[in-house]
Structure 1
Amino acid sequence: MKTIILGTLLCLAAASTATTAQTLPPEHTVTVPGNALRIDVPEHPRYMMRQDCKKFVGTYDLSNGDTLELRLAGAVMYARIGKQEEHRIVATDHNAFVALDRQLKVRIDHNDDGSVDGELVMVVPAQNLSGGDIVPYHVQSIGLASR
């Protein structure tokens, strides 16, 4: 009987916590559907030789109509989305990079058939809409348009 009562109390407490979390105002929340949309900088970035970095340099079309540009300056890589500011990036895998400021991460797949695809995960800044509403900043996943 004690187990059933304790279990019921735990369920009620969890439901109460969930209800409280759902009633937070939008400016205090960030929608992140799943753990895949985390932008973490590794404690020890992966070392990538300059010649390996070169195959990722270029401009990529994004599925939302914007572009992603990756460039190499000496041994340092940078990423830029559209006309936004550049972000210094480091390798996290043989085909993945993350910005040191945690504003974006990108995976670029060079396929055996010569096509290129991948994914960009980025922080989208808060926006003021013309109707007065505010869209809070959020993390968004954007596919690279295959080429």
Structure 2
Amino acid sequence: MTAPQQRKLRLAAFIRHVWDEGEVDASDDYVAEIYTIHHDPGDPWDGRTLDRAGFKDRVRKSRAAFPDQKFDIQGLFADGQSVVMTWLWSGTHRGDLPGFPATDRAISMSGATVYTFDINERLTGHWQISDRLGVFQQLQRNR
């Protein structure tokens, strides 16, 4: 199996274990000591560099409002040390977000994320675009 194929499989496993299933401590197997959010508008961590403990805290806080969230990976495209993932995301709004109390309604969005890997095949950061405006519009409709 080629290195790009291995990175794609590793990324899919990371998304499933850490983000979908909430196995936050599994981040130790996938994330480098330092993880940088290069571009992720609307994300409170946009532009920040996190250590692994900070990354885990981000996952816990991000999943709190949507504990059943799932990513449906639409495509994985490898180039050098990076893998681009296009995705559809959905979750039930079960926890409060600033200005939006929990509604127990389904919310969805789409996006694309470029993940970077180090020489040890650990994730070192991402650059992401997503439909956060669509999420806020759904939340407002659900009030």
TM, length-normalised to structure 2: 0.31
Higher helix share: 2
For the pair shown, the structure with the greater C-alpha radius of gyration is 1
Higher relative contact order, chain-length normalized (CA < 8 Å, sep 6+): 2
